[in-house]
């Protein structure tokens, strides 16, 4: 009889039968190991959670009073004889790859990851394994990121220009990960950093967790608009096109996402500026990360799985496409699917947004 694989793909998530636990399950289970606190990986309703300790406060904030055990990177937890340890994924603060070992066989689940050091998330660390389960959100050769220092030069120049012209600056990125990465790389000599409530709630959760972030000021009804004009506002995707955002007019609106690499994405989002900044690995990052594991088999969970799997098989990997419910945390959900709206900072899409806690 064929041996049951150590990890298998089920309709509830990635399952370890030997250890009787799931990794990032999307249906309620007894025992869940969580790679990171984004909504498509950390679902509500599990009896017990295991995650990195830097995910603790954000998980409590998003999921409420859950039963949560947290660990450091490299620390081992044993469940029914199966060893579990977490390693940095470099995706967002607290994000981890999950290493699972039983009788010398090692599997690693990447969760979401990026190979560039963003200066705020613990940098990605390749982990040797026999089987590697990888995302491939940007698994197409067209996705090649520039070093973030170059992107933030563009961001800071844009902000400085706006401030000199009396135009408010609104920069949009999801609330866990992108927002803090932006915050830590802004040139604070230009002005004050203001935050939308959704972003500030996440910042506060991280600060409770001991993360040192640059100072921010939460925007309230009392915040004087004139002051805000010299500063920069960090806002979540769900705020795009809402009256909340419109009250800062005149403003320039910039969007930070890997999808800004696609022609037309900025225009469809009605953004004045599109900054190609992603918390996922680009093409080279994916290929080098997979190669560095020395794995015998690689499974691709979400992104351009078909194309990327084909490519990996062509260059000699044993690659397999698998079906999961992991989404795309950089998705431009609120981009209207119709034709581009007028190229003006005053025209906005529906602003349906992804709502608090969902893929933000
Ligand atoms: Zn994510
Ligand atoms: Zn994801």
Q: Render pLDDT for 199-208 as a digit per residue (tens, 0 to 9).
A: 999 999 999 9
Is the pLDDT higher at 346 or at 46? Answer: 46
Region 143-166: mean pLDDT is 97
Q: Is residue 335 part of a domain?
A: no
Q: How high is the pLDDT of residue 154?
A: 98
Q: Residue 257 — pLDDT band, cuts 50, 70, 90?
A: very high
- 270 and 302 in a single domain? The answer is no
Residues with CB under 5 A from ligand 1 (ion): 38, 112, 329
Which bound ligand lies closest to the C-alpha atom of 138? 2
The answer as to whether 219 is a domain residue is yes
Which of these three, 245, 260, 275, is where a domain ends?
275
Domain membership of residue 124 as a residue range: 8-142+279-321
CATH number of the domain that residue 217 is part of = 3.40.50
Residues 77, 133 share a domain: yes
Q: How many CB atoms are located within 10 Å of the residue 57 CB? A: 21
Whether residue 239 sits in one domain with residue 169: yes
- In the predicted model, is pLDDT for residue 127 greater than 50? yes
Place of tokens 């040797």: 128
Range 119-139 average pLDDT: 97
Q: Which ligand is nearest to the CA of 121?
A: 1
Distance (Å) from CA 36 to ligand 1 centroid: 7
Q: Give the pLDDT confidence score for residue 226 in this predicted structure.
A: 87
Largest CA distance in the chain: 73
Co-location of 160 and 270 in the same domain: yes
Instruction: Evaluate if residue 41 carries a pLDDT over 60.
Output: yes
Residue 219 has pLDDT above 50, yes or no: yes
User: What average pLDDT does this structure show over 307-322?
Assistant: 96
Residue 320 in contact with residue 341, Cβ under 8 Å?
no
Q: How far apart are CA 285 and CA 174, in angstroms?
A: 22
Q: Is residue 356 part of a domain?
A: no
Q: 69 and 195, same structural domain?
A: no
Residue 346 pLDDT exceeds 60? no
Query: Chain-centre distance of CA 22, in angstroms?
Result: 21
- For 255, the token pair is 């969007």
* pLDDT > 90 in the chain, percent: 83
The pTM is what? Answer: 0.90
Shortest-distance ligand to the CA of residue 114: 1
Three-class SS state of 158: helix
- Residue 330 included in any domain: no
Whether residues 64 and 132 fall in one domain = yes
Same domain, yes or no, for 153 and 117? Answer: no
How far, CA to CA in Å, does 61 sit from each of 64, 65, 107, 180, 356? 6, 9, 30, 16, 11
Within-domain flag for 296: yes
Q: How far is CA 151 from CA 110, 141, 213, 242, in A?
A: 26, 20, 20, 26
C-alpha–C-alpha distance, residues 138 and 141, integer Å:
8
What order of strands is seen across the sheet that includes strand 76-79?
76-79, 82-88, 96-102, 105-109, 131-136, 297-303, 319-321
The reply to whether 127 and 172 lie within a common domain is: no
Average pLDDT of the segment spanning 185-206: 97
Higher pLDDT, 292 or 268: 292
**For position 357, what pLDDT does the model report?**
33
pLDDT band, residue 35 (cuts 50/70/90): very high
Residue 66 lies in a domain: yes
What's the confidence (pLDDT) of residue 353? 30
Residues 6+ apart with CB under 8 A from 166: 229, 250
In a domain, 351, yes or no: no
pLDDT mean across residues, the chain: 90
Q: Which of 42-56, 114-128, 169-183, 220-234 has the lowest mean pLDDT?
A: 220-234
* CA 191 to ligand 1 centroid distance, Å: 30
Span 92-107, mean pLDDT?
Answer: 98
Question: Quick check: is 338 in a domain?
Answer: no
101: domain CATH number is 3.60.15.10
Say if residue 155 is in the same domain as residue 177. Answer: yes
The rounded Å distance from CA 97 to ligand 2 centre is: 12
**How many angstroms does the Cα of residue 246 sit away from the middle of ligand 1?**
29
**Does residue 169 share a domain with residue 137?**
no
- Statement to judge: residues 184 and 214 lie in one domain: yes
Q: Same domain, yes or no, for 21 and 128?
A: yes
Number of domains in the chain: 2
Q: 168 C-alpha vs ligand 1 centroid, how far in Å?
A: 29
Position 1 scores a pLDDT of: 62
DSSP state letters, 237-274: GGGTTSHHHHTT-SEEEEEE-GGGGSTTHHHHTT-SEE
Q: Judge whether 90 and 258 are in contact, CB under 8 Å.
A: no
């Amino acid at each position: 009889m064929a041996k049951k694989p150590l990890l298998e793909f089920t309709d509830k998530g990635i399952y370890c039968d030997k250890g009787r636990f799931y990794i990032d399950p999307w249906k309620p289970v007894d025992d869940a190991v969580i790679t990171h606190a984004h909504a498509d990986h950390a679902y509500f309703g599990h009896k017990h959670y295991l995650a990195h300790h830097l995910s603790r406060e954000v998980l409590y904030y998003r999921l409420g009073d859950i039963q949560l055990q947290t660990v450091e990177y490299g620390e081992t937890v044993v469940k029914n004889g199966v060893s579990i340890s977490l390693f940095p994924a470099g995706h967002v603060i607290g994000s981890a790859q999950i290493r699972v070992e039983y009788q010398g066989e090692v599997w690693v689940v990447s969760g979401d990851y990026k190979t560039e050091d963003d200066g705020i998330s613990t940098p990605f660390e390749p982990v040797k394994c026999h089987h590697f389960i990888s995302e491939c959100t940007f698994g197409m050769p067209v996705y090649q990121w520039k070093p973030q220092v170059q992107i933030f030069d563009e961001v800071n120049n844009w902000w400085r220009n706006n401030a000199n012209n009396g135009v408010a600056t609104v920069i949009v990125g999801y609330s866990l990960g992108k927002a803090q990465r932006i915050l830590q790389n802004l040139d604070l000599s230009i002005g004050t950093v203001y935050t939308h409530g959704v972003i500030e709630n996440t910042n506060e959760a991280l600060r409770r967790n001991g993360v040192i972030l640059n100072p921010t000021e939460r925007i309230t009804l009392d915040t004087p608009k004139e002051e805000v004009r010299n500063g920069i506002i960090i806002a979540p995707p769900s705020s795009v096109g809402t009256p909340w955002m419109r009250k800062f007019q005149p403003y320039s609106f910039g969007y930070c996402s890997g999808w800004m690499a696609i022609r037309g994405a900025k225009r469809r989002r009605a953004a004045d500026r599109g900054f190609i900044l992603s918390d996922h690995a680009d093409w080279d990052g994916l290929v080098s990360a997979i190669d560095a594991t020395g794995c015998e088999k690689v499974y691709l969970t979400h992104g351009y799985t078909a194309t990327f799997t084909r490519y990996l098989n062509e260059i000699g990997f044993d690659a397999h496409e698998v079906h999961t419910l992991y989404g795309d945390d950089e998705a431009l959900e609120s981009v209207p699917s119709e034709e581009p709206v007028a190229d003006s900072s005053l025209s906005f899409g529906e602003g349906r947004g992804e709502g608090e806690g969902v893929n933000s």
